[in-house]
Amino acid sequence: MTDNRLLRLTETIRSRRGADPETSYVARLFHMGRERIAQKLGEEAVEAVIAAATGNAEALKGEAADLVFHLAVLLESMGLSFEDVLTELERREGVSGLAEKAARSGVAAPDKGD
Cβ(48)–Cβ(67) under 8 Å?
yes
CATH match of 4-105 with 1.10.10.10: no
Residue-wise pLDDT for 35-90, tens only, equals 999 999 999 999 999 999 999 999 999 999 999 999 999 999 999 999 999 999 99
pLDDT at residue 55, rounded to an integer: 98
* Strand (E) or helix (H) holding 81: none
The domain spans of the chain are 4-105
- End-to-end, the C-alpha distance of the chain in Å comes to 37
pTM (two decimals): 0.81
